[in-house]
Amino acid sequence: MCGSGFVIQQNGYILTNYHVIKNATRITITVPGRQAVSARLVTTDQEKDLAILQVSLGYLTALPIASSEAVQVLDSVTVLGYPLPGELGTALSASDGKVNAVREGRNSSTRLFQIDANVNPGNSGGPLLNNHGEVVGIVVAKINSLQYAKENGSLPERINFAIPINEAQALLRKVIPDFTLSDRQEVLTDQQVFQSAKGSTVLIVADQEETSRASYTDTEDNGSLARFIAEFVRAGGIGSGEGQTDYYASPCDYFENGQYARIYCSGVAGLQSQVAVSGISIVRHAVGQCYESGRPI
């Protein structure tokens, strides 16, 4: 599984989504301009889909973190990350947009930012930045436009989600006891935001055993994510391992050589599983095995 993350302290602490590294047997992180290095898992908050990793690298630049309480609808934001690294390569990508709404989590009081900046598999765990170059959220999910269109006849566009960074403060203070919020006043251009953050936004590759991949499902019995964000899909988690299929199908529909099968899966590269919440279908991207009638396909 591949995802994104960002440096939160110069001694090598990195924040990302928990689902990016869940059940990983080995985690590798690439900081722009450096060689890939192994990372260790430091701490997690599974309910909020957050994890902190550490790498043995010095002289890293931490991104400034602002309070997400100040974020308002129609604020400008920038998403950084590594979308579709197996297909597009590992160059850092940026997308700008607006905060469209502040949504309440269905099963908790936790909020999510709805944003229209582009989000794709591999963006999970990347920073959501304000126009001061400060982190105000962590990219986590996107709506399943294809499934929604099939069910409702219209195609929603650019409906994506980020976890407000304030949700991570308790976790941050576990590793940074003297953590303080940034309060920059200077407004930056989009290019300046990108330049200031690009060296601190990292690519994460999490190797997982096949059994771990196949068992990664979000059910009510899987308490780590269900109570917080089970209705939203992970925006990260695409892989390009040998033998995997490098194409996309519509969520839970498997097409090959003109044949159709309805599937549920914990993901093969390019295949997507979906859950329906309040009439809206959401797609989770992950890497693993897909099943038809309980059999691997």
The reported pLDDT for the residue numbered 105 is 63
Instruction: Classify strands 24-30 and 37-45 as parallel, antiparallel or unpaired.
Output: antiparallel
The reported pLDDT for the residue numbered 290 is 33
Give the C-alpha separation, 105 to 255, whole Å. 33
Q: Hey, which residues are catalytic here?
A: 19, 49, 124
Amino acid sitting at position 88: L
- Domains in the chain (CATH in brackets) are 1-240 (2.40.10.120)
The answer for 258, left when phi > 0, alpha when psi is -120 to 50, beta otherwise, is: left
Q: With contact defined as beta carbons under 8 Å apart, do 79 and 97 qualify?
A: yes
The reported pLDDT for the residue numbered 82 is 96
Q: What is the 3-state secondary structure (H, E, C) of the chain?
A: CEEEEEEEECCCEEEECHHHHCCEEEEEEECCCCCCEEEEEEEEEHHHCEEEEEECCCCCCCCCECCHHHCCCCCEEEEEECCCHHHHCCCCEEEEEEEEEEEECCCCCCEEEEECCCCCCCCCCCEEECCCCCEEEEEEEEECHHHHHHHHCCCCCCCEEEEEHHHHHHHHHHHCCCCCCCCCCCCCCHHHHHHHHHHHEEEEEEEECHHHHHCCCCCCCCHHHHHHHCCCCCCCCCCCCCCCCCCCCCCCEEEECCEEEECEECCCCCCEEEEEECCEEEEEECCCCEEECCEEC
Q: With contact defined as beta carbons under 8 Å apart, do 179 and 172 qualify?
A: yes
Greatest Cα pair distance, the chain, in angstroms, is: 58
Give the C-alpha separation, 77 to 129, whole Å. 5
The answer for 284, left when phi > 0, alpha when psi is -120 to 50, beta otherwise, is: beta
pLDDT in tens, the chain (297 residues): 899 999 999 999 999 999 999 999 999 999 999 999 999 999 999 989 999 999 999 899 999 999 999 999 999 999 999 999 988 999 999 999 999 999 876 555 578 999 999 999 899 999 999 999 999 999 998 776 677 677 777 777 788 999 999 999 999 999 999 999 999 999 999 999 999 999 999 999 999 876 554 333 333 333 333 333 334 434 444 443 333 322 222 233 333 333 433 333 333 233 333 333 333 333 333 333 333 333 332
The reported pLDDT for the residue numbered 106 is 59
219 token code pair: 């059910």
Give the C-alpha separation, 181 to 62, whole Å. 12
